[in-house]
Amino acid sequence: MAEFTQQQLLDLVNSSQVNPGNDRVRQITQRIVSDLFRAIDDLDIKPDEFWAGVDWLARLGAGGQLGLITAGLGFDRLIDIREEEADEAAGRAAGTPRAIEGPLYIAGAPLSDGEARLDEDPAAGTVLVMEGQVRDVDGNPVAGALVDVWHANELGRYSHFDPDQADYHLRRKIKTDAQGRYRFRSFIPPGYAIPPNSPTSELFVALGRHGNRPAHIHFLVAAEGQRTLTTQVNIPGDTFLDDDFAFATRDGLVVELQPNTPAAGYESLGVNAPFTRVCFDFVVQPA
Ligand code: MBD
Ligand code: FE
């Protein structure tokens, strides 16, 4: 049997191959493995530290928290920044700023035409109606666009990740009308905090970081011939607006609250008293 130096071992790991495999996967894996070998060497990572890390990753995966840690370590935002840099380099017109999807989206929410109520009767908080238009980059309304919206409940938890909520609670798909308009009724959600006593919070405690997100509402806006827009809006005034653990908040996405809007015209959403209104238009880019 051969004895290997560190470098020989790494070269072997990276070059070992009996089938063509996938070149891109090989390239990325080689780079990550090489970087990790180097980190272990440079930082003199001890066996117990290495295996503690492996155990943590296994628990992270088993707990379904990989998407949470990628957001908390900035990877989700990095990917958005890179997309926007690519748009700019290609001279593509910008639409509404993108914001990360996060790990809590569920496909298949109930679909309705033009408007929807997301929450249950009675309302859980300050009654909110959010409304606006979907437009393309030339300013034309986009009829038949699908506005997929989701947000946390009054305890900051999301349906499908919380046994106390019905499936698709606070999740709807709304098809825009002939003028590209959508509207929905819900309540102003609170912020989100990573689950305590979880692998993610374990790392955050060790890093001395908090795991809070400011209050926000998520959107995927999809239309034929348009690039799907993934974004979020933020509620103004939140303590964590400029200190989001997922680095996802952006200037152009903090909405204006219009309290005490008269209820007239909103009866179809069951609104019968003054409420808080938010107007927000989405601009989608060509595909
Ligand atoms: C969330 O609600 C969220 O939006 C993100 C990005 C990460 C964790 C929880
Ligand atoms: Fe969220």
Q: What is the pLDDT of residues 108-117, one digit of tens each?
A: 999 999 999 9
Average pLDDT value for residue range 206-213: 98
- DSSP secondary structure, 151-184, as one string: ---TTS--TTS-TTS-TTTTEEEEE--TTSEEEE
- pLDDT, residue 1, reads 65
Measured distance CA(171)–CA(112) in Å, rounded:
12
Interface pTM (ipTM) of the complex? 0.97
68 lines ligand 1 (CB under 6 A): yes
Name the pTM for this structure.
0.95
Answer yes or no: are the C-beta atoms of 14 and 38 closer than 8 Å.
no
pLDDT over 80 (residue 82): yes
71 lines ligand 1 (CB under 6 A): yes
pLDDT over 80 (residue 2): no
Ligand nearest to the CA of residue 66, numbered in listed order: 1
Q: What is the 3-state secondary structure (H, E, C) of 26-42?
A: HHHHHHHHHHHHHHHHH
- pLDDT, residue 124, reads 85
Average pLDDT along the chain: 96
Cα(151) to ligand 2 centroid in Å equals: 6
Ligand nearest to the CA of residue 74, numbered in listed order: 1
Cα(214) to ligand 2 centroid in Å equals: 9
For ligand 1, atom 4: residue with the closest CA: 102
95 lines ligand 1 (CB under 6 A): no
Cα(273) to ligand 1 centroid in Å equals: 31
* 211-250 pLDDT, tens digit each: 999 999 999 999 999 999 999 999 999 999 999 999 999 9
Chain center to CA of 205: 22
Q: What is the 3-state secondary structure (H, E, C) of 86-109?
A: HHHHHCCCCCCCCCCCCCCCCCCC
Cα(246) to ligand 1 centroid in Å equals: 7
For ligand 1, atom 1: residue with the closest CA: 102
233 lines ligand 1 (CB under 6 A): no
The residue whose CB lies within 8 Å of the most ligand 1 atoms, and thus the one to mutate among 76, 104, 157, is 104
pLDDT-derived band at 252 (thresholds 50, 70, 90) equals very high
Give the whole-number percent of the chain exceeding pLDDT 70: 100
Ligand nearest to the CA of residue 246, numbered in listed order: 1
100 lines ligand 1 (CB under 6 A): yes
